[in-house]
Amino acid sequence: MAQIFHPAANTIAKATIFGAVFIIALLGLVGTTIDRSSYVTGAGIARDQPVPFSHEHHVSGLGIDCRYCHTSVEKSSFAGIPPTKTCMTCHSQVWTDAPILQPVRESWNVNRPLRWNRVHNLPDFVYFNHSIHVAKGVGCSTCHGPVDKMPLMFQANSLQMEWCLNCHRAPEKFLRPKDQVYNMNYQPPPDQDALGKQLVEKYAVHTTQLSNCYVCHR
């Protein structure tokens, strides 16, 4: 019987199969890298704002507590954006003629709120509640990063589902005493696992439910 394919066809077939597997794996790697990049997640990118507000200056330099501006963080799902009135509490007395603050003064004079661009913006299909995280001992810097060192605010973490689940599956690694929630200089102690387990029990964190879909998707 005549041979239809040249013997080299076996080698070509094997190389093709290997190449296809390699290409598929490479495409998967490239796709994962892009999906976790700042291009998709927005992490590490400072948004343009009507006023270049510096958390570093206000938090680290002046020692202003997070709750002074984000007034609803302990009782609402939304942390709250400060109204112009909050800004003018100080800036009606200091830096009153600074050109950089002209948008703030104009907002106050015409009674029109500043339009800030959101830095942390979860998809509509994700439910997130600031108040419950604060009540359970999750620190501001755990999610928002070293805000006190940010001249311009940017998203420190990916905010992707994988990142959220890392905490929901092992909350004891991230919890801190409630009186340290707003401490930007807080450092986890060497016995964080032991402390975390105590706080999980003390704050009634239902660990068996945290990874259920309905917790974040309602």
The CA angle 162-47-122, to the nearest 5 degrees, is 35
Whether 88 contacts 106, CB under 8 Å: no
Whether 211 contacts 165, CB under 8 Å: yes
Whether 78 contacts 72, CB under 8 Å: yes
For CA atoms 176, 177, 180, 181, give the dihedral sign.
Answer: positive
The CA angle 206-209-212, to the nearest 5 degrees, is 155
Q: Give Cα 86 distance to the centre of its chain.
A: 24
Domain that includes residue 176, residue range: 55-216
| Per-residue pLDDT reduced to its tens digit, 131-175 | 999 999 999 999 999 999 999 999 999 999 999 999 999 999 999
Band of residue 103 on the pLDDT scale cut at 50, 70, 90 = very high
| Per-residue pLDDT reduced to its tens digit, 31-72 | 878 878 888 898 999 999 999 999 999 999 999 999 999 999
Whether 56 contacts 166, CB under 8 Å: no
Would 49 be classed as within a structural domain?
A: no
Would 68 be classed as within a structural domain?
A: yes
Whether 77 contacts 131, CB under 8 Å: yes
Would 107 be classed as within a structural domain?
A: yes
> Is 0.85 topped by the overall pTM?
no
Would 59 be classed as within a structural domain?
A: yes
Would 35 be classed as within a structural domain?
A: no
Residue 1 in this model has a pLDDT that exceeds 60: no
Band of residue 116 on the pLDDT scale cut at 50, 70, 90 = very high
What average pLDDT does this structure show over 2-24? 74
Whether 113 contacts 125, CB under 8 Å: no
Q: Would you tell me how many other CB atoms lie within 10 Å of the CB of residue 27?
A: 10
Q: Would you tell me how many other CB atoms lie within 10 Å of the CB of residue 21?
A: 10
DSSP letter assigned to residue 182: T
Number of domains in the chain: 1
